[in-house]
Homo-oligomer: A and B are copies of this chain.
Amino acid sequence: MSRALYIGRFQPFHNGHLHAVKWILEREDELVLGIGSAQYSHTWRNPFTVGERYLMIWQTLKAEGLLNRVLITAIPDTDTRHSTWVSVVKTYSPPFDSAYTNDPLSRLLFREAGIKVYSIPFYERDKYEATLIRKLIAEGKDEWKKLVPPPVAHILVKIGGVDRLKEIYRYSR
Contact = CB atoms under 8 A, between A and B. Distances in A.
Given A76-B76, A87-B86, A160-B112, A81 B51 contact: no
A80 B50 CA distance: 13
A44 to B, nearest CB: 11
A94 B42 contact: no
Interface of A: 38-43, 46, 49-52, 54-55, 58, 62, 67-68, 71-74, 76, 80-84, 86-88, 90-95, 104-105, 108-109, 112, 159-160, 164, 167-168, 170-171
A7 to B, nearest CB: 13
SS of A interface (majority) = helix
- How many copies are assembled? 6
Contacts of A109: 42
Contact of A42 (B49, B72, B82, B90): B82
Contacts of A80: 39-40, 43, 46
A91 B50 contact: yes
Given A62-B68, A76-B76, 18 more contacts: A38-B92, A39-B81, A40-B81, A42-B82, A49-B83, A49-B90, A49-B91, A51-B73, A51-B90, A51-B91, A52-B95, A73-B74, A74-B92, A84-B84, A84-B88, A87-B87, A104-B167, A108-B164
A142 B164 CA distance: 42
